[in-house]
Chain A
Amino acid sequence: MARLLDVIREELDLTGTKEGCGEGECGACSVFLDGKLVNSCLVPAAQAQGAELRTIEGVADGEQLHGVQAAFLECGGAQCGICTPGMVMAAVDLLRRCPQPDEAQIRDGLAGNLCRCTGYVKIVDSVASAAKRAVAVAEQALQAGAGANP
């Protein structure tokens, strides 16, 4: 029986989603299924019938990186890169649930995704930086809005 991961990688040719363990331990295959973060290696393809799927290829807005991706690039959150797509998905999910996480919340939020290169420090810093940046962007937008409508 094909897994959602097989369909994503082989049928849809979206190879940004990775297979690290095939048993739901490493999180390299993380995708959003109807907005919910799942390990696509554990989901039978049939279960995705009619659902909305979002993979790493759908995180950036064209050439414009998502704030989490930009932060990973800037803070050194990616090394070998094989866990990175899944890690980015988990971080996006965390910041949606918890927009201003402290370090313990970040560590807890990413605990389903294994990274063998970084010791997680730079990944944690990337997520914290993305959260901070999101606040700054929101404040700028607010101020710009206030300026336009006195």
Chain B
Amino acid sequence: MTQPLHLGHSRPRKEGRAKVTGAAHYTDDVRMEGLLHGATVRSPVPRGILRGIQFGDGIPWNEFVIVTAKDVPGDPMVALIEHDQPFLVADRINHAEEAVLLLAHEDRFLLERARAAVRLEIEALPPLLDLEDSLACKEVVWGQDNLFKELLIEKGEVDSVWKTAAHIVEGEYRTGAQEQLYIEPNGTIAVADAGGVTVWGSLQCPYYVHKAIKSLFNLSDDQVRIIQMETGGGFGGKEDYPSLIAGHAALLSMKAGGRPVKIIYDREEDMVATTKRHPSRTRIRSAFDTEGTLLALDLDFAIDGGAYVTLTPVVLSRGAIHAGGPYRCANTRIHARAVATNTPPHGAFRGFGAPQSLFAIERHMDVAAAQLGMDPIALRKRNLLKMGDTTATGQIIKETLDLPGILDRALEKLDYVSKKHQYDITNRASAPIKKGVGFAVFMHGCGFTGAGETYLASVAGVEGRSDGKVYVLAASTEIGQGTNTMFSQVVAEALRVPMECVEVAQPDTAVVPNSGPTVASRTCMVVGKLVQDAAQGLRQTLVQSGLLPEPYDGEAFSRAVKAYLEKFGRLKAYSQYSTPPHIVWDDQLYKGDAYTTFAWACYAAEVIVDTRTFEVKVEDFVALQEVGRVLNPVLAEGQIEGGVAQGIGYGLSEQVVWNNGRMANGQMTNYIMATSADLPRIRVYFEENPYALGPGGAKGIGELPMDGPAPALLNAVQHALGTTLPREIPLTPERLMEILEPSNA
């Protein structure tokens, strides 16, 4: 077998030069003739009935383009899973910051004054703002019972175990909302005229926006064109929300006779109005035998979906499937519910439900170890999944899997065992500084959940162009994770040419096929494989045409591309996803192969807790994982390091403070993400185990690092303080004070 030319090597970021010089073009950098700026007037209350709109004095209203729900030409609801979220409020207000009215003007300073001068007359209704209140139907704000989605995963006979089990351990765990906090706020530009609608935007999923705009304006496929601009981070926050903003900009442009309209959110608007990670509550009842073997797991997993369905059912599904953790348990019941409240809809954020449920189970394992008087390593090792075992959904692990080894090697990197003994002794002293070590073992399912990939049936391709280069055609977007570079490496490898021979076409629905959304750790594993297959097809075409004699170099290849185009006019190859025959999923029973494969990991942390200030400092962090083959070590490490940093924030500092259904700390000043000075050097290790169906053996990687840090950190805090009480994240100093000094709190 030939050595890989590119795969496994750290090729520099394809668009890196444009990014380090400031030349990269983001949505707000676009200049257009006749451009108007758009702004959104939003509801100040979480629930009510819109009775009227007053336009205040001192504003030249006749100069403004004004859009309300009455101006919507087609489906007034955003087309996603359910059509329940309106682009603009018609009469019922279901969450604070819900969009009611749109304004456009060429002077954005005057526009801001005008926005402030609009007064909404609202008859307020009692809001439903709490997950438990929603489950108890204290108010009904959605459907008959507030339930967006309910799932039951059952295996074995859970209730047969309780009577005879040696130990029963119960616990309740909570996670808060989390803001994606991409540094580039949401924004789009739209032109809507007789020819149709064109949108340029900061977005993850061009075809989601395409679908939503088509239905909003009653247009055909080719009348709508969505173009992704350079995108300054997404993390899920630009998965579904851009459909709404694009719709707003397009409605304003239509009313303005086709003039381009740009809507760029400022930081606070982005934080208070757009989606966040779903808050969750998990109750766990577990049974163990005298040796620590897990006999039964009964999980009640509930998430707050906010005011509209958006992506919540899918988030619930991933969360529920991951809720049992990486453990073998013959008797498992996972009851999962997602409910409505009057907060802005919660949405996609890296991990997509799994960080919530994995926090609960991995925290619970340390609580259980304490109750059983066992070492948390030994307790886990008795129960970790191995090849041939089945997961909660009955999926048989068919690949080589060495979780005990992954666990051992991560702990070795942290020097966990000797530190644990050492701190057990030093923490007994009366000094206010306590130290602790902790870890979490977990997995993340790669690609869409269940039958998702089958339904998507994604298509990607490659095209030889007249410059002699091959262009990747995919709607999968570069949002910082390295899509452009990874695609280029995969294609250059398949063609056996230098990286310079490959370019990635800008995601533009008029040019690229629908390779599915840029989500679910699927771009490399699923779309990368399609692109690889297409490139192999293109190479074969060239070779068989006789225009590409082997061996060849980059120049000879380019000449062959040009010659082929001159002779035949067109050089394109596509590939479409089809589900491997051994993957079987039952969406009704929630049984079977939930994912084609999983990435596996153990993360270990060392913390220092100051019992005077209640601060938790992360002293060391080890992230060790098996993600199949690593295609580009620098990019892969970057994904893990960034995900861990977000996970540390999720666990310790990133608290969304709610005030009457509105985020009260919608600023970077008081929503606390880590700076370079707050974090240790995150130490990343990969163990390679090639995955047969991924390009070059790769699995998904992007979301995995979000799952492990929070439980690892709180387990380390449990060790430092000798209490199992920390059960809720973020574990802010205020929360830790409530635990340690309840009388002061």
Contact = CB atoms under 8 A, between A and B. Distances in A.
Q: Are A and B interaction partners?
A: yes
Interface of A: 9, 13-23, 25-26, 28, 55-57, 59-60, 65, 69-70, 72-85, 88, 103, 106-108, 110-124
29 contacts: A16-B22, A21-B667, A21-B668, A65-B21, A73-B12, A73-B17, A73-B20, A79-B13, A79-B480, A79-B638, A81-B19, A82-B183, A82-B232, A88-B20, A106-B676, A107-B677, A110-B675, A110-B677, A113-B675, A115-B183, A116-B181, A116-B183, A117-B233, A119-B645, A120-B676, A120-B679, A121-B681, A121-B682, A124-B681
A124 B682 CA distance: 11
Given A15-B22, A82-B184, A106-B676, A23 B28 contact: no
Contacts of A85: 20, 22
Contacts of A73: 12-13, 16-17, 20
Contacts of A82: 26, 182-184, 232-233
A76 B641 CA distance: 11
Contacts of B668: 20-21, 23, 25-26, 114
Contacts of B24: 81
B644 A79 contact: no
A134 to B, nearest CB: 16
A124 B638 contact: no
Nearest to A109: B676
B634 interface: yes
B267 interface: yes
Given A81-B19, A118-B642, 6 more contacts: A18-B26, A20-B185, A78-B13, A88-B20, A111-B677, A120-B645
Contacts, number: 176
B744 to A, nearest CB: 30
Nearest to A14: B22
Nearest to A56: B22
Nearest to A57: B22
B646 interface: yes
Contact of B634 (A9, A75, A81, A113): A75
Given A23-B267, A80-B231, A122 B634 contact: yes
Contacts of B638: 76, 79, 117-119, 121-122
Interface string B633-667: 01101100111111000000000000000000001
A76 B634 contact: yes
Contacts of B266: 22
A18 B184 contact: yes
A26 B271 CA distance: 14
A119 B16 CA distance: 18
The 7 A-B residue pairs with the shortest CB-CB distance, nearest first, are: A16-B22, A80-B480, A82-B232, A81-B19, A119-B645, A119-B641, A56-B22
Interface in B5-52: 10, 12-13, 15-26, 28-29, 31
A16 to B, nearest CB: 2
B438 interface: no
B22 A121 contact: no
B479 interface: yes
Contact of A16 (B21, B31, B233, B641): B21
Given A19-B28, A26-B668, A107-B677, A119 B642 contact: yes
Contact of A80 (B28, B479, B684): B479
B80 interface: no
Nearest to A89: B22
B689 to A, nearest CB: 24
B54 interface: no
B21 A56 contact: yes
A103 to B, nearest CB: 7
B235 interface: yes
B345 interface: no
A21 B635 CA distance: 26
Contact of A76 (B10, B18, B644): B10
Contacts of A60: 21
A68 B20 CA distance: 9
A77 B26 CA distance: 19
B728 interface: no
Nearest to A16: B22
Interface in B470-517: 479-482
A9 B17 CA distance: 20
